[in-house]
Amino acid sequence: MPTFAHWKLILVLFVGILTGCATQQQTPPPKSVTHQIGYQADSKLAQYFDQSEYDTSIYTGFYPLDKGHDALLARIVLIESAEHSLDLQYYIYRDDATGNLMTWRLFEAAERGVRVRILLDDMQKRNDDNLAYLHSHLNIDVRLFNPNNYRSARGLGILADFERLNSRMHNKSLTADSVASVVGGRNIGNEYFSYHSPVEFGDFDLLIYGNTVEQTGEQFDKYWNSDFAVPIDWITSSATELKREEVEQFVVDEELEEQFTSGAYDMTRLQFYSKMREHKLQLYWGEGKLLYDRPNKIVGEGSQLIDDLQLILEGVDSELIIISPYFVPTADGTALLVDGVKSGKKVTIITNSLASNDVYAVHGWYSKYRKDLLQGGVELWEVKASANIKSKWSMTGSGHSSLHAKIMLIDDHILFVGSMNWDPRSAHINTEMAVILDHKAFVTESKSEIQAQLIESAYKLEIEDGDLVWRDLENGETLTSEPDASVWRRMGSWMAGILPIEDQL
């Protein structure tokens, strides 16, 4: 049997291996500090959205992006229309068709003189040399947030520095000319934009104009200039110069233009495209505010967003609807929701079923609280994996669907949309952001549409003779076990539920 001395030697050797995997760097030069350029009144985007009816120091104009193709097109429109600046901040940015399309258009923007700042969380493994290649453009600056020091052995790096690397930047935003932004739940990747993916995430973003755009820029600058945002050329120095002819050849080889201007995914045939081109995009207007965590949350500062949200939830008068793909309320959260019902409020939760949840460990812990929630009067719905909704406020898409939108509707007039899930990770570990808006007509209409969609696309959970049942109100069936979930998925969820990992979910 190994002695303590043997284990100590093994540990020393293990740390030595990790040290050898780390990228060796010289002391980096001082990092440049840059800021949003402020509202560009002379830009095409400002001329498009400008109006005189509302005070944009208080009000936000917003347009819901519930369909994946509209959400992608909105981002492309902002990129192609930008004349001064583009700021992007994402947790996931995939190297796939939609990601490559956006990167190509960002390159074209930089070529015409637009300053492009790209801030990506470093949880997703990417090719550092490719990022540095993009960064080599005079007008493109790429930074990684809270990077792993072990570039070629990332898994081992996480083991060596788990406490730091476990905290991630989950914020998602794109801002053009400090005039308009897209914020919400979507990352960048085919599955988020309904494009050729075996699993389609039903997600939700807002195209915004007005006071919350400046606030979005302020939060971006805080992250961009923080100590946790590391320029990619500090991480790798092997980049070659970015050349237009090489980019153009890549576009031809990947058929990027053809993929999105012909066939089933021709963006020029979308109704949203016509509305933008013909200046017929009608914004909803309401008082708005951006809520967000500070970058120092990843080193234990606490969640500013949660503090702000707590004040808002304490003011709920009659109704709260929570739409969250990853819903782990914890014992304390469950008690608070039940207390809300006891005080006369209607509380509705919409989340993934086991079959539609892409992280079954989350379901393993969420399922522990279902009976307590139902017995306490909370209304609980789980989205079907086969849901197929085409209308506004689409919670899922076609094929195998998975809810990914993060939304709250409060009383009859408050809309909350952002990156935050209702789980311990969003509350205590990752940084998050959300926009909150006051618009009675939009919220009232949306609640009505959601209720109609739930009948078709979700199971209503109830307790019958002491056991949990799933009501399919579309066909009248009652199911007594997790719908559409395989035995293996059920076993995996159950096993995850007995592991002490709730605070990490």
Rounded CA separation 126/161 (Å) = 19
Q: Which of 66, 70, 121, 177 is catalytic?
A: 177
Out of 67, 135, 172, 297, which one is annotated catalytic? 172
**At residue 174, what are phi and psi to the nearest 5 degrees?**
-140, 125
Query: Is 440 designated active site?
Result: no
- The closest of 201, 204, 179 to 190, measured between CA atoms, is 201
**CB-based contact 421:326 (threshold 8 Å):** yes
DSSP helix/strand/coil, 297: helix
- Annotate 112-174 with DSSP letters as a single string: TT-EEEEEEESSS---HHHHHHHHTSTTEEEEEES--S-SS-HHHHHHHTHHHHT--B---EE
Question: Among 135, 137, 363, 404, which one carries the catalytic annotation?
Answer: 404
Structural tokens at position 436? 């909150």
Is residue 345 annotated as part of the catalytic site, yes or no?
no
What does the alpha-carbon distance between residue 326 and residue 18 come to, in Å, rounded to a whole number?
A: 33
The residue among 116, 120, 188, 189 whose CA lies nearest residue 148 is: 120
For residue 199, which of 331, 387, 413, 39 has the smallest C-alpha distance?
Answer: 387
Active site residue 177: yes
Q: What is the C-alpha to C-alpha distance for residues 130 and 118, in angstroms, rounded to an integer? A: 13
Annotation marks residue 447 as catalytic:
no
Catalytic one of 170, 363, 384, 439 = 170
Catalytic residue among 137, 297, 363, 406: 406
244-254 helix and 97-111 helix, angle to the nearest 10 degrees: 150
Q: How far apart are CA 351 and CA 81, in angstroms?
A: 36
272 burial (CB, 10 Å; 0-12 / 13-18 / 19+) is: buried
Tell me how far apart the alpha carbons of residues 21 and 359 are, in angstroms, rounded to a whole number. Answer: 30
Give the whole-angstrom CA distance, residue 55 versus residue 287. 9
**From CA 208, how far away is CA 182, in angstroms rounded?**
6
Residue 188 is given by DSSP the state B
Which amino acid would we find at residue 353? S
Q: What is the DSSP letter of 31?
A: P
Q: What is the DSSP string of 395-449?
A: ---SSEEEE---EEEETTTEEEEES--BSHIIIIISB-EEEEEE-HHHHHHHHHH
CA distance 465 to 78: 55
Cα 130 from Cα 138, distance rounded (Å) = 15
**Residue 484 vs residues 356, 390, 418: alpha-carbon distances, Å:** 9, 22, 29
358 catalytic per annotation: no
For tokens 């969250």, the residue is: 324
317 is catalytic: no
Annotated catalytic residues are 170, 172, 177, 404, 406, 411
